[in-house]
Amino acid sequence: MSIVKAMLATQKYNDQDILAFFTRPTRSINHRLISEIRSEKKHKTVKAASTDELAVYLETWPDVDGETGLSLRGDELLVKAREAMIAAVHSFNSAGLTFRSEIFITTAMIAWTYLCHAWLKREGIDFRYKKNGEVAKTSNCAEKLWELGKCIRNNKLPLATGAKLNLELILEIRHEIEHRSTSRIDDALGPLLQACCINFNRSIKEWFGDQYGLEQRLPIALQFVTFDAAQIAKIKSAPALPAVLEATIDRFHANMNDEELRDPAFSYRVAFVPKVGAKASKADQAVEFIKADSEEGKQLNSVLLKEVDKNRFTPSQVVELMQANGFPKFKMQHHTTLWQELDAKAEEKGFGKQGDYANTWVWFDSWVERVRAHCEENSEKYAA
């Protein structure tokens, strides 16, 4: 409004000229508003911009992205959200990078934070922390804004349960990778990160409009390899997640029901099948989407569910694994003492679950890794 007043004061611009400067897809201004500003019927207390401020505005106009119509200043949060997610995906898809998941997670969480702030701002919801009725400040006197976790736990945010669970788990993983070094985790976290991308694209379109989707900016990725049986076996035998990350994920999964675990908004999995079409036009189509409730979709889903099912170990199998890995003195009593001391059967720890039969307990890979770490720490006790 201050710029409008400054333009009116110069008497160089008519109402139509001023409308041309300020109207864009995310903001519409009409002649009535200009008239109300001129007569001071509205916005009377707003001071006119200075001559220098008006000059800077005119020199930098138009600051609108030609593809989306977003203003680089007025729509800054939405612009940053899109650019951060584009950067996250480009980084993950870049050839030659080693720790792609860590880079993606950090940048994608920034993107989601900006997107949530943009929605909250548009809806008039104050997303600043308050203390004793005053806006809380950082040590540098900046206003403290809600972090992503706080945003997605706000009941007014129109985000599906699966998408919220996806972000909650990724945030927990981010907390872990911020405080410790991790090994390669890209293959293991792929379905989780893919769902994060799809949820972001769906949300930005539903909240602000289809024109802000990222489909055109991020086309399908190409690769130099196909998958044969030997390669699939190699992927399956790749190192598992670090024990601390696997334990974090198992704890999170333990608090979810089967429907939530299968929700593609939480974790998105795709089956790759070589296509041989009867017609060249169909064979040339690289991606084909199959409805989940179709007969073919049900068959594929059955395979995928079997593929991602957790490994389960009986106590004796855990002991046998430790003995086979160079700790022959590790016995069942040592295993029992260890899980009791660590309260490893507590549900929230996610190390295992009640078996299919009464009075049975099965352990997950995360517990096997924890036991292996215990044996390595006490190798003089258990090694030959």
Segment 213-237, tens digit of pLDDT = 887 776 555 545 444 444 444 444 4
Using one digit for the tens of pLDDT, what is the confidence trace for 133-176? Answer: 898 988 888 889 999 999 999 999 999 999 999 999 999 888 87
* Residue scoring higher pLDDT (84 or 267): 84
Contact 47, 2 (CB under 8 A): yes
**Whose CA is closest to 347, among 211, 235, 269, 251?**
251
Give residue 284's pLDDT: 47
Using one digit for the tens of pLDDT, what is the confidence trace for 52-104? Answer: 877 876 666 666 665 666 766 678 889 899 999 999 988 888 777 777 888 89
Is 70 exceeded by the pLDDT of residue 28?
Answer: no
**Whose CA is closest to 376, among 177, 181, 368?**
368
User: Could you tell me the maximum CA-CA distance found in the chain, to the nearest angstrom?
Assistant: 93
Contact 101, 185 (CB under 8 A): yes
Is 90 exceeded by the pLDDT of residue 113?
Answer: yes
* Residue scoring higher pLDDT (269 or 4): 4
DSSP code for 143: B
Cα separation of 249 and 194, whole Å?
16
Least confident of 41-45, 216-220, 288-292: 288-292
Give residue 156's pLDDT: 93
Which band of pLDDT confidence, cut at 50, 70 and 90, is reported for residue 211?
Answer: confident
Residue at token pair 């997610």: 85
Is 80 exceeded by the pLDDT of residue 30?
Answer: no
Give residue 244's pLDDT: 62
Which band of pLDDT confidence, cut at 50, 70 and 90, is reported for residue 2?
Answer: confident
Which band of pLDDT confidence, cut at 50, 70 and 90, is reported for residue 127?
Answer: very high
Cα separation of 1 and 7, whole Å?
10
Q: Please give the mean pLDDT across all residues of the chain.
A: 77
Cα separation of 360 and 312, whole Å?
12
Is 60 exceeded by the pLDDT of residue 307?
Answer: no
